[in-house]
A and B are shown apart, each in its own frame.
Chain A
Amino acid sequence: MPRLLIVDDEESILFAMGRYFRSKGFEVDVTRELEEAQALVLNVHYDLLIADFRLTGIHGAEGLEIVGLVRERCPWMRSILLTAFGTSELESEAVKRGATVLLRKPKTLSEIAAVVNRLLQESA
């Protein structure tokens, strides 16, 4: 059963995405905090990360920090970065830092799930 980590500062999004992916048979952990996400990535074996580009906090681009850590320490993991501010510069920076895919919001849960399934199939 693939294991996902979902990181977003909005509780309602975490709840909806967590419930959706669990219903599709995934094992899912969710968190709102950058540091908790980092600690989880370093201690739990995940197959894929879904992270919002911007979390509440002082950093402003926390999603990039998480995908960077994933690339450095968990190279088998795929990562999807979600952003409302998609620009070609950001896309290039996100890929440079390790994001497998940058998705521009809004996206439906089924659209995100299609990307998740594709990435997991590619890495199988």
Chain B
Amino acid sequence: MTSDVHSSLEAILETGAVRTVFQPVFDLSGPDPAVHLLESLTRGPEGTNLEPAGVLFEYARRKGGEARLDRLCVKTAFASVPALPPGVRVSVNVHASTLERDLDFASFLVEGATASGLSPARVVVEIVEHAPSWDGPRFRKALDTLTASGVKIALDDIGLGQSNYRMILETRPHYFKLDRFLVEGCHEDAGRKAVLDSIVRLARAFGSSVIAEGPGCEGDIAAVREIGVDLVQGFILARPAPAAAASRFFDA
């Protein structure tokens, strides 16, 4: 990997040099796996230090540019929608701080989805957060704008970092996403299973669905299904792919 002029945040934002890949969340409740939604995942400029999403977003946060990068990621993801199978549900990742600080972001997202031919009712906004605090009322207002348009809310990395009880109460998510840290290896770890079981019961109390991310093996999938989680996402089931190749997820 190398650093060059295209690796700077400003260059990325000016040129739009990110791309989107999609990874399915499967519903395993039926006889065959069915795609429940496609999560859009961003990659930075190819061949640079910023190509991996983890590096790109950490860099943007440290530059104070996560809101502008979130806009670019959402715009890029929606631009791929026409290449996806029709009727699919699509999720996009958004920082809580973006919803709090960028007052037009919610409208921008809803309008972007509609313009790309994606009904807002088929959009899931996955809330991610790394900052320790945010303005509750402004954040809540943005969520209200989204949900009033039919957008569903998912809370990412439940139980880790800032995705804590306060965040659950602020977002009232339609989906609880269980992080790989909790899911991977859960079939042979009673402690992990106990934590997962507790979160699943909490989600049920909120009337929410649960998605288990990152099972490491079939045993982990069996373990999360045992505690009532049918929505599963992970490399073991399908690796992320560009929109043009996403139709193969529906043939599984």
Binding site for B on A (CB under 8 A): 14, 18, 29-33, 35-36, 38-40, 42-44
A6 to chain B, nearest CB (A): 10
User: For A35, what are the chain B residues with a Cβ–Cβ distance below 8 Å?
Assistant: 59, 62-63
Residues B58 and A18 in contact, CB atoms below 8 Å apart: no
Listed from nearest, the 10 A-B pairs whose CB atoms lie closest are A39-B58, A35-B62, A39-B59, A31-B3, A43-B54, A43-B55, A39-B55, A29-B1, A35-B63, A36-B59
CB-CB nearest in chain B for A36: B59
Q: Per-residue 0/1 for B140-167: is the Cβ within 8 Å of any A Cβ (1 yes, 0 no)? A: 0000000000000000000000000000
Alpha-carbon gap, A14 to B3, bound state (A): 9
A12 to chain B, nearest CB (A): 13
Residues A30 and B3 in contact, CB atoms below 8 Å apart: yes
Of the four ranges (under 10, 10 to 19, 20 to 34, 35 or more), the interface on chain B belongs to 10 to 19
User: For A32, what are the chain B residues with a Cβ–Cβ distance below 8 Å?
Assistant: 3
With A31-B7, A35-B62, A39-B56 given, can you name 10 additional A-B contacts, CB distance below 8 Å?
A: A29-B1, A31-B3, A33-B7, A36-B49, A36-B59, A38-B59, A39-B58, A40-B55, A43-B52, A44-B55
User: For A31, what are the chain B residues with a Cβ–Cβ distance below 8 Å?
Assistant: 3, 7, 49
Residues B1 and A33 in contact, CB atoms below 8 Å apart: no
A42 to chain B, nearest CB (A): 6
User: For B63, what are the chain A residues with a Cβ–Cβ distance below 8 Å?
Assistant: 35
Q: Given contacts A29-B49, A33-B8, A35-B63, are A42 and B3 in contact (CB under 8 A)?
A: no
Residues B1 and A43 in contact, CB atoms below 8 Å apart: no
A46 to chain B, nearest CB (A): 12
Within 8 A of A (CB), among B59-78: 59, 62-63
Residues B2 and A39 in contact, CB atoms below 8 Å apart: no
Alpha-carbon gap, A62 to B176, bound state (A): 39
B240 to chain A, nearest CB (A): 17
B203 within 8 A of partner (CB): no
Alpha-carbon gap, A42 to B53, bound state (A): 12
Of listed B2, B3, B54, B56, residue having the most chain A CB within 10 A: B3
Residues A40 and B49 in contact, CB atoms below 8 Å apart: yes
B125 within 8 A of partner (CB): no
User: B2 contacts which of A18, A33, A43 (Cβ < 8 Å)?
Assistant: A18
Q: Per-residue 0/1 for B1-33: is the Cβ within 8 Å of any A Cβ (1 yes, 0 no)? A: 111000110000000000000000000000000
- Cross-chain pairs A/B with CB under 8 angstroms, 8 sampled: A29-B1, A33-B59, A35-B63, A36-B50, A39-B56, A39-B62, A40-B55, A43-B54
User: For B52, what are the chain A residues with a Cβ–Cβ distance below 8 Å?
Assistant: 43-44
A85 to chain B, nearest CB (A): 24
Residues B3 and A33 in contact, CB atoms below 8 Å apart: yes
User: For A18, what are the chain B residues with a Cβ–Cβ distance below 8 Å?
Assistant: 2
User: For A43, what are the chain B residues with a Cβ–Cβ distance below 8 Å?
Assistant: 52, 54-55, 58
Alpha-carbon gap, A18 to B52, bound state (A): 20
Alpha-carbon gap, A36 to B8, bound state (A): 8
